[in-house]
Structure 1
Amino acid sequence: MSRIVIITGANSGIGKAAAQKFALEGDHVIMACRSIQRSRTIQQALIRNTGNNDITLMQLDISSFASIQQFVQQFTERFEQLDLLIHNAAYLKHGEPRYLLSEDDIELSFATNVVGPYLLTQLLLPQLGKAKQPAILHACTTNIKHFFDPKRQIEFDNMRGEYANQRIFNSYKLYGDSKMALFLLTIKLAEQVKEQRIRVNALQINRVKLSPETIANLSARYRILARLQNPTSQPPSSMADLYYDICTSTNYRDINGSLINHRGIVMKAATSEKPHPFQLIRYLTSDQYYPAYATNRTYLDQVWDFCEQATDTILSKQI
């Protein structure tokens, strides 16, 4: 029996490559995409290329609570269970000059990259619980290395724009903050669903060739950088293969609440939140360590509490 796999943002880049990989392996792929119109052609091409007709396109704007609820309702009406949930979609708009809020009044990077994935996961836990070997995968990035700086903090007091007009806005920083928050969510969620046999891990994506759609979202400066880096960057298929291995291989069957690097190696936490200079150089030049910031229980609880409070009205109705 084929697995049921949801991949958010499956119409371009790594998400598209992952949809093809899972489809080639005979799985039923749910392409959860914001634009049905733009994604329909991709869906049809994937069906032709893989010979797998079980590629379903469903509308999902992961930054919108209403869209998430509608997606879950439609999914549960059609599918009895869910085997794999891959949070691949992300808001990446480096150089955006404005502080933007989602329709639910949450900073857009966090609404898309953190709170939306949290809500979607919570609403789909009953379906994941019915699978034999359920797994959740979060797509993180090397941007979290900035948290080796002991001064770096996630500004949870500004998640709804409380200080939008008083603090310097940096979309690149917010993207990195949201990806660290997603990794913190990975660790916390793994603890929460361990008894349900659901594995939760994150992949640290490193220098992957960006799609034309992603590059178009960047400011002029970042577009130039992306085009200079693209020729020497890894193809999206390399990360798609890792998506598949982490979710399905027996090599990762006992791995839970972990960050895995682009070579498929389970990473370790740095030993100090304030490393001395030689330690810092070692951490920054290695691909085997992540900042100790992610092991701090205060920060872990902050992410969880924020997501919980932001979605409380919706989730309380599910009890």
Structure 2
Amino acid sequence: MKDEIVVITGANSGIGKAAAIKFAAEGYTVIMACRNLELSRETQKEIIAVSNNDQVKLMELDTASFASIRTFCSAFKSQYDKLDILIHNAAYMNHGEKYRLSPDNIELTFATNVFGPYLITTLLLDDLKKSKNPRILHACSNIIKHFFDPKRKIDFDQLQGQKKDSKRHSVYKNYCASKMALLMVTFKMADVYQNDGVKVNALQINGAKMSKATLRKVKPHWRIIARIQNLYFPSPSVMAQHYFDICTSDKFETITGKLIDHKQKMMQQPPSHNPNVITQIKQITGSKVYPAYAANPEIQEKLWELCNSLTNKNMVTPSSEQHA
């Protein structure tokens, strides 16, 4: 058995579950950080059986709730003396849902996909710094390609309940914006944590086959599209292998602040000059570059300050004695 510890959010299904199996099979202590413990216990038993590793632990975590995050981080600190790998895999997107708020009055998609991961990382930073080779991985998405459209922007004016009664709300657009925001947080976090030796990267996920259970959760009219996509998407284990390689291999030991594609190649910011039509098509359909919006320093700073301001009151974890 190894002495490395990995936390994987949303490890009860899909890529998160496949990643938990991979890390457990390789001898890591795996912390499954999941919102629904009742549904996750059977998955935990399955992972233990498949990997022949009983060091697969289940801990409750709702990444959309700052209170849940604080409780989880405090419980983790009371049980473990370091953290080697932190994988932000959990995400929220539910087609057709109305504008929803998190317990902290934040639009649910951004609370789950951006501000929650930011707070978790901040609270566990000292634990990561105790590792010999700490790494953080954010599960990004090729949905950010919508930002090749120069008109596409993150709507900062609808993240704190401002548009909960608006009929113009789109979960899909918010999911797209949240994944762009997560990438921007990746870049900023890598810069801020560079002197601490913590490597922070993002993986651009092109999709993975959905399980039958996940397909049943999709709205009927979207389910048809999802079934068609399933014919072409790789199994979750393919992306899980990328999680493992990025977080453990020597190839990525010194790499930080990068968006990595499905071939484990580092993606680049496109050239500043206006591309011609053919180049634009190549950018949208390929995986060599990401939208220039992601590298905008002013937007990065605005987002970073918002992360700070929204989570600042939640930085102090409860006493660990409560979880002893």
- The TM-score bracket by the shorter chain reads over 0.9
State yes or no: 1:55 paired with 2:63. Answer: no
State yes or no: 1:264 paired with 2:264. Answer: yes
Unmatched runs of 5 consecutive residues or more in structure 2: 319-324
1:33 paired residue number = 34
1:133 paired residue number = 133
TM-score (structure 1 length as normaliser) = 0.96
Alpha-carbon shift at residue 195 of structure 1 (Å) = 0.5
Alpha-carbon shift at residue 116 of structure 1 (Å) = 0.2
Q: Deviations over 1:126-170 (max 9, x none)?
A: 100000000000000110000000000000111012134346111
TM-score (structure 2 length as normaliser) = 0.95
Query: Residue 273 and residue 95 in structure 1: after superposition, are their counterparts in 2 closer, same or farther (change >3 A)?
Result: farther
2:313 paired residue number = 313
Alpha-carbon shift at residue 225 of structure 1 (Å) = 0.6
Mapped to 1, the partners of 2:191 and 2:167 lie a distance apart of: 34
Q: How many residues align?
A: 317
Supply the AA of the counterpart residue of 1:264.
Answer: Q
2:165 paired residue number = 165
Alpha-carbon shift at residue 316 of structure 1 (Å) = 6.4
Deviates more, 1:204-213 or 1:224-233: 204-213
Deviates more, 1:7-16 or 1:87-96: 87-96
Query: Residue 105 and residue 275 in structure 1: after superposition, are their counterparts in 2 closer, same or farther (change >3 A)?
Result: farther
The alignment partner of 2:42 has SS state of: helix
Provide the aligned C-alpha RMSD in A: 1.5
1:91 paired residue number = 92
Q: 1:1-319 to 2 correspondence within 5 Å?
A: 1-96=2-97, 98-166=98-166, 168-272=168-272, 275-315=275-315
Supply the AA of the counterpart residue of 1:91.
Answer: Y
Mapped to 2, the partners of 1:201 and 1:288 lie a distance apart of: 16
Q: Is the 8 A contact 2:138 2:203 kept in 1?
A: yes
Q: Is the 8 A contact 2:163 2:169 kept in 1?
A: no
Alpha-carbon shift at residue 261 of structure 1 (Å) = 0.5
Unmatched runs of 5 consecutive residues or more in structure 1: none
Alpha-carbon shift at residue 274 of structure 1 (Å) = 5.7
Alpha-carbon shift at residue 9 of structure 1 (Å) = 0.3
Supply the AA of the counterpart residue of 1:255.
Answer: I
Query: Residue 172 and residue 80 in structure 1: after superposition, are their counterparts in 2 closer, same or farther (change >3 A)?
Result: same
Query: Residue 169 and residue 273 in structure 1: after superposition, are their counterparts in 2 closer, same or farther (change >3 A)?
Result: farther
Mapped to 1, the partners of 2:217 and 2:107 lie a distance apart of: 17
Alpha-carbon shift at residue 295 of structure 1 (Å) = 0.8
**Stretches of 4+ aligned residues off by more than 6 angstroms:** none
Deviates more, 1:156-165 or 1:186-195: 156-165
Q: Deviations over 1:37-78 (max 9, x none)?
A: 000001011111111010000000010001001101110000
Q: Is the 8 A contact 1:273 1:291 kept in 2?
A: no
Mapped to 2, the partners of 1:272 and 1:210 lie a distance apart of: 37
The alignment partner of 1:175 has SS state of: helix
Q: Deviations over 1:153-190 (max 9, x none)?
A: 00011101213434611111110100000000000000
